[in-house]
Chains A and B, each alone.
Chain A
Amino acid sequence: MSSFREVNYTLRPAKAVERRMLGEMFRRLHPFGRVEDYQYVGFGSIYFSDFQLVHRSLGIDEMISIEKDTNAKACFEFNKPFASIDLIFGHSADVLPLLKWETKSIVWLDYDGRLNLDVLSDISTFCTKAASGSVLVLTVNAQPELDPGEASRNQFAHDHGGKFDVGAYRLSKLEENIPGKVPPGTDGRSLRQYGVASAFYRTIINQIEEQLSVRNSTLRTKDMMAWRQFAHFLYKDDALMLTVGVVVFNETDRTVYDACSFQGLDFVRLDDSPYIIRVPCLTTKELQHLNSQLPAKDPNTRPTCPGVPDRDIDTYREVYRYFPNFSEVLWT
């Protein structure tokens, strides 16, 4: 396949699709209460893309952006797109425990790095404090460890005795990321392709279960917090990223959860098999041409477009409603 069909790295289209899909999911929270009344907590950076979404399309006013880079405060303040975003400087571990958790919250912790103890600790904070109806979304880098160079191979073989084994090496790296939390039975040989993502997925779920179990241990049945997963995405703009989204609710709100009917959305995933976001690279003209044939009256009829492979067309059909429109604009 020619390179023009590959992903444009600078624009992160898969991330954009994910953001819109999550927005659609957040909208379904309305049985718990007006979505506008949720507070949103995220890592806005200087682009605040997620804040654009939750304010513009969900109408959420109360927004908190956690920013760990304290050296350029003025820059972040300046780039804040809306007045009601409260910019708090510090690490999420320091900031999260201080938030107003009585309010129903949508918390999207969109990390750049891999799953580690800090992330697990942030999960604990959410699980310990979140109000019924709150949502936690986590995004972490789940790219498999590259086969290391000669020097690292030799070093590893020397330190551990015996010959270098890439599986053992990857498992040791995973153990460095999440010491003491690697899911039982994890085989180093599986830590390729989506293997790291599935180990991280299990670790995240285990952490949620454990923390909620501790929280529930002294509560009356009606106050006990259950959790349900709604999002499990994998996507790759450059590195492979894993996103897991869960909603927590107490026994009293169980029927409310059912009323959200997340299952109505195609890309909802309730278990350990992820929805993989694939984004075909298409020109504006191709997009418009395909859009004009969608949604197809007969789902068995594939839209057509000259020169675009069928596989790309099928992929596009799944995501077209969430597909970003990138265009070049000259600001004067």
Chain B
Amino acid sequence: MAESRNEGLQRDPNRINAAPSKEFFIYMLTRDVQLSRAIIDLLDNCVDGAKRLRANGSFDGLWVTITISPDLFSITDNCGGIPVEVARDYAFRFGRPKTAKDTPGSMGLFGVGMKRTFFKLGNRFEVKSKCETEEFDLNVDVNQWVEMGEDDPNDWHFQFSSVTTGIPATPERETGTEIIVTELHPAIQSVFALENFQTQLMSEVTAAHMLSLQRGLGITVNRLPVQLQKPSLFVSDEVQPAVQDLTFERRQLDGKEGEGVHVRLLAGLSIRSYPDGGWYVFCNGRLVLKADKTAASIWGTSHSMRQYHPDFAYFRGYTFFDSAVSALLPWTTTKTGVDIDSALYKAVQQQMIEISKPILAFLSSMAKGQQEGQIDEGALDDSLSIAQSTEIQNITTIAAFRANVKQVPTGPKYGRIQYSKPIEQIEKVKTLMKAKSLKEIGERSFDYFLEYEGGE
């Protein structure tokens, strides 16, 4: 087969070579993904394993341990292992072949993440997997693999060190995968020596896999458990977050028949926090956009919206895309953002914008007449103080946003006066006036002038 192809190459002068090279995957593609994200890519595979074992159930008892050190990287799970057939025919291919079976609702879908991470980390990797009735072990020296040549990409292959099938049934808790990467690249070694990297990785895992953690998956990094954070919104008689469900037919998305995409939107108010405010997007339970404050979600003139602003620090929006066919969802290969050109995403984005508008208008009205970035916290906080901080998974009633907070009284319009004066003069006036604040000086001197000079 390969030979005839080569002959074909020589025969047909119009034929142009477009074959990939190993170097492209090893040295180029690895630049597109941040180190911590590359590690989380491997974690996605573990979570997919957990989903295969417990399609809709709890992940209690399932775990993933990640070890990072200057000598080796490893990630081990008890999430079912990789079947030999899957490893032989699909898992190690570059790109996902058409014939590959989809794990319903999976996170891994491009056929690029795992290999890219291996190449990014080091020169030697080992994958050991144990399923219910079979197990394998694979050892690869990347430099040797490059030197093997194999100009025809159809010849690219790795070799199992050992494969055993038909072993007596292994209990579920003993099945799993262990990945070890050694001969780490020098740049990776020096980063893995830093405790700050561990901190960063743990906080990104907390965010990226908050839903898996919530389902009970245990994740540790260097033996320390990754903490679970539960996103929440305020709910009370007076404050109601918006909840909306959308369904998209598969036929409209890729022309095929079958189950489409389910989307849930939640938006409302939470604890005031400038960095945490913004929009969160999940695809099949994996966070891909975190506290977004850009045009990738709802903000800015391209959407005829205001830019994110300190007044909006109470705002949170959550979008959950779910589909059995993960390729339908708007992820990017690095899973660090959304495919903003996807028709599905654009349609959902419109709804995200619409659902946000009343909330942002409400927050702007609270801020009206107040200095920018300083919402009249009194009125809002009074209302929020009786609202319950409620985990978003417990907010399920479809509803529109509502907030009956007493607004800044309507009536005369207010303007704001601001000016600077030398400190000494200010201190002098302050003493004469016995004023307690600069604001008081301004207001009283204005009233004084109005009283004496503004009379009818």
Contacts and interface: CB of A to CB of B under 8 A. Distances in A.
A289 B67 CA distance: 58
B202 A161 contact: no
B195 A183 contact: yes
Nearest to A171: B227
A180 B232 contact: no
Nearest to B386: A158
Nearest to B387: A158
Contacts of B196: 181, 206-207, 209-210
B190 A184 contact: no
Contacts of B203: 180
B199 interface: yes
Contacts of B199: 180-184, 206
Contacts of A207: 196
B200 A158 contact: no
Contacts of A183: 195, 199
B435 interface: no
A213 B191 CA distance: 8
B72 interface: no
A182 B202 CA distance: 11
A201 to B, nearest CB: 12
A202 B275 CA distance: 24
A158 B388 CA distance: 7
A184 B198 contact: yes
B361 interface: no
Interface in A178-211: 179-185, 202, 206-207, 209-210
B389 A206 contact: no
Contacts of A184: 195, 198-199, 202, 221-222, 224
B232 A202 contact: no
Contact of A209 (B187, B195, B230, B388): B195
Contacts of B390: 161
B195 A71 contact: no
A318 to B, nearest CB: 32
Interface string B189-219: 0110111111110110000000000000000
B245 interface: no
Contact of B195 (A158, A159, A202, A217): A202
Contacts of B230: 161
Contact of A213 (B190, B232, B275): B190
B391 A161 contact: yes
Given A180-B200, A207-B196, A217 B190 contact: yes
A185 B201 CA distance: 13
B423 interface: yes
Interface string B310-346: 0000000000000000000000000000000000000
Contacts of B197: 210
Contacts of A185: 224
A212 to B, nearest CB: 10
Given A179-B275, A184-B199, A184-B221, A161 B194 contact: no
A152 to B, nearest CB: 13
B389 A160 contact: yes
B385 interface: yes
Contacts of A202: 195
Contacts of B232: 161
Nearest to A218: B187
A220 to B, nearest CB: 13
Contacts of A161: 230, 232, 388-391
Interface string B378-418: 00000001001111000000000000000000000000000
B79 to A, nearest CB: 23
A172 to B, nearest CB: 11
A209 B194 contact: yes
B200 A213 contact: no
Interface in B146-202: 187, 190-191, 193-200, 202
A176 to B, nearest CB: 10
Given A184-B202, A209-B195, A213-B194, 10 more contacts: A71-B423, A159-B271, A161-B390, A180-B199, A180-B200, A184-B224, A185-B224, A207-B196, A209-B193, A213-B190
Interface of A: 71, 155, 158-161, 179-185, 202, 206-207, 209-210, 213, 216-217
7 contacts: A159-B271, A161-B230, A184-B198, A185-B224, A206-B196, A209-B193, A216-B190
